[in-house]
Amino acid sequence: MSKKIINKMNVSPLPEPTVLVTVKAEDKSPNIITIAWTGVFSHSPSIVYIAVHPARYSHSMLKESMEYVINIPSENLAKITDYCGIVSGKNVDKFKETGLTPIPASIVKAPLIKECLVNIECKVKDILNFGSHDIFVGEVVATHYDEEVLKENGVPDVDKIRPYGYTFGEYRSMGDKLGLAGYSKK
């Protein structure tokens, strides 16, 4: 049996969802920021979070607007997602450069990204700081799905959405279904 080796080089060895977050402050054009540190805090009420370094251009926009949209890109948008994470919205109009289409959200001022098949509108309820990043805790106020990714019963089809993750500096697809929730007891 191999032995365990301590490695402090990577704080995040687990795959994390990769999303495009849109923000809009009063006096600025909408911006897109790539986020891999995101997830769900609670399902009732629906609470999610994104972690953003204070040096990022979108950080001040988030603090000012207190709202954002999590746009879930499919695998075909991986290169655009990477681009949105390595250039600053201070210098580049990411919508113009990528060809992504901003469309109005139903509640928040930040736009949805049309090309993303799932969009989650959020209002910031709290900002937490535990070190290098601020955690913007958001209450989900609306979730949008493209009709094409919903099954006949209205449930989203992950095989059509094709979300992906980020780990060890690589974007990775989710892979095959391993089972359904609760299948270990059936």
The confidence band for 74, taking pLDDT boundaries of 50, 70 and 90, is: very high
Residue 3 lies in a domain: no
**pLDDT level of residue 178 (50, 70, 90 thresholds):** confident
Structural domain includes residue 175: yes
pLDDT tens per residue, range 116-156: 999 999 999 999 998 999 999 999 999 999 999 999 999 99
Q: Which of 2-11, 66-75, 105-114, 120-129 has the lowest mean pLDDT?
A: 2-11
What integer pLDDT is reported at residue 9 of this predicted model? 63
Domain count, the chain: 1
Alpha helix (H) residue ranges in the chain: 57-65, 78-86, 94-98, 158-161
Q: Is 116 helix (H, G, I), strand (E, B) or coil?
A: coil
5 domain residue, yes or no = no
Structure tokens at 134: 């601020």
| 186 contacts: CB under 8 Å, gap ≥ 6 | none
- pLDDT tens digit sequence for 79-105: 999 999 999 999 999 999 999 999 999
Cα(139)–Cα(58) distance, rounded to whole angstroms? Answer: 19
Say what the pLDDT of residue 11 is. 61
For residue 146, which of 94, 72, 79 has the smallest C-alpha distance? Answer: 72
**8 in a domain, yes or no?**
no
- Asked, for residue 4, whether it belongs to a domain, the answer is no
The whole domain housing 144 covers 16-181
CATH of the domain at 78: 2.30.110.10
Q: Beginning with the edge strand found earlier in the chain, give each strand of the sheet holding 134-145 in spatial order.
A: 31-35, 19-23, 67-72, 118-129, 134-145, 46-52, 38-43
Residue 24, phi-psi category: left (phi > 0), alpha (psi -120 to 50), beta (remainder): beta
Copy the structure tokens of residue 145: 């799905």
